[in-house]
Amino acid sequence: MALLNTTDWTGRIFVGAWEKGSGQTYTAVEPATGDTLAEVGQAGAGDVAEAALRAARAQRDWAATPAIERAAVLSKAAALLREHAEEIIGWVVRESGSTRLKSGIEVQASATECTEAAALASAPYGELLHSPMPRISMERRVPVGVVSVISPFNFPLILSMRSVAPALALGNAVLLKPDPRTAVCGGVVIARIFEEAGLPEGVLQMLPGGVEVGSAMIDAPAVRVVSFTGSTPAGRAIGAQAAKSLTRTHLELGGNNALIVLGDVDVEAAASCGAFGSFSHGGQVCMAVGRHLVHESIYEDYVSLLGAKADALSVGDGFREDVALGPIIDRKQLDHAKTLVDSSVAAGARLVAGGTHDGLFYRPTVLANCTSETPAYAEEVFGPVACVRSFTDVDEAVALACDSDFGLSLGVLGNDLALAMSIADRIPAGMVHINDQTFNDDPNAPFGGVGSSGSSRVGGQRANVESFTETQWLTLRAAAPTYPF
């Protein structure tokens, strides 16, 4: 039986049941063809206010549910994701412009997130403390209550599930707002999965919408944590708004990640790493390699190999063809990438490969001779664009890598591991990969950046517990003491 029978959810939001939202509807569009895939319900601010109250009521019972029962729901969700993988992959490919390879990895990673969360439900949640008083003293973690999750279009399923699954496992209720461009694979799929997994009504609610809905999800008094993945400007605005009510935020934002290529590497292997890091999913990845910093001794060889790899990659409709890259998500995003490339060439960068498009299908692009003033080098492109720049020594490479407000992911390629590690130690980054490119993810590892790339971490047992629970001090005495009052 299909998971996404459209008669169940077409034109509806999920508030424990599928109901009409107070807004209109969103049209789910296939970027590769422009075809309409479905109609998705649209929430309004009033829907969010009601959902937050409903979630707060449902959360109390859910938090009191034995951990083994919460774990069973998460395990069932993982099984359902695997059972319906082919159907879900098709939706991710068509709605987000992905390839089948990328979509398959995303579905399996989401299932693993649920499996990890199932184990999290029964993980240790406190420790005993010494006390000078005749009592038991302990520190324990308790659910925050209601968590708002605001997720992006590029990896809509996994970047929603990364926060939804651990928040639920730890006894919280969740309000989920997927990006309207991917409201089916980033929202409807998750609502249907947990509906089928037996999650109690009201514990998860899915509310597609725009800025008004996102704002209401931050301001709702019941919401105590906001987990947001998206652009740095939007993250700054969310952080400022949440601070007014002292609501905690977990912000996973943009990146302009550096890949440092030292002179002793296998240049062919290095170019393969660089191509994968820059061009996967059309570069629409916060962890994508934006800046290739290459030692001058191998610079020209690296540029030539990277350009050849870019020229060899196929671009097309990932649902109907076996391609390396699908379309850019929409015209606005394509125009952003195109403008940065065109202005970079006008400013003196050398166009080695790409720089053209057919509709939303943008060719993998390599720009050489980049400087700090090259627009596509200085900014996050969020498109399949690799900017290459040479360096003469380690100190210069470090200075170039540090010359950015972002600090998400860093890659260092080199045969001298001690040297590579010493370089990494000098560059602020939330994630570092020695002898690999910057686009990496494990479900049991903390994910996030520093500087303009965000704050806090989601992912891995320790980070998830810190993100979605509060610390409480608890003492117990055998009998009440007598005080001198």
User: 325-350 burial by CB neighbour count: b if 16+ within 10 A, else e?
Assistant: bbbbbeeebbebbbebbeebbeeebe
402 catalytic per annotation: no
Under a CB-based contact definition with an 8 Å cutoff, are residues 140 and 167 in contact? Answer: no
- Residues with Cβ within 8 Å of 413's Cβ and at least 6 positions away in sequence, in order, are 259, 260, 261, 262, 265, 270, 273, 420, 435, 436
For the chain, the residue count is: 485
Under a CB-based contact definition with an 8 Å cutoff, are residues 169 and 161 in contact? Answer: no
Per DSSP, the three-state class of 423 is helix
- Measured between alpha carbons, how far is 288 from 47 in angstroms, rounded to an integer? 36
- Measured between alpha carbons, how far is 359 from 235 in angstroms, rounded to an integer? 30
Which one of the listed residues 116, 195, 252, 380 is annotated catalytic? 252
Other Cβ atoms less than 10 A from the Cβ of 136: the count is 13
Residue 119 falls in which region: left (phi positive, over 0), alpha (psi -120 to 50) or beta: alpha
69 catalytic per annotation: no
User: Could you report how far apart the first and last alpha carbons of the chain are, in Å?
Assistant: 69
Per DSSP, the three-state class of 382 is coil
Structure tokens at 55: 């979630």
Angle at 403 between CA 340 and CA 440, to 5 degrees: 75
Which one of the listed residues 114, 185, 273, 286 is annotated catalytic? 286
Residue 61: strand pairing partners: none
Under a CB-based contact definition with an 8 Å cutoff, are residues 256 and 379 in contact? Answer: yes
Residue 358: strand pairing partners: 361
Angle between helices 67-83 and 100-121 (to 10 degrees): 170
Per DSSP, the three-state class of 233 is helix
The residues assigned a catalytic role are 252, 286
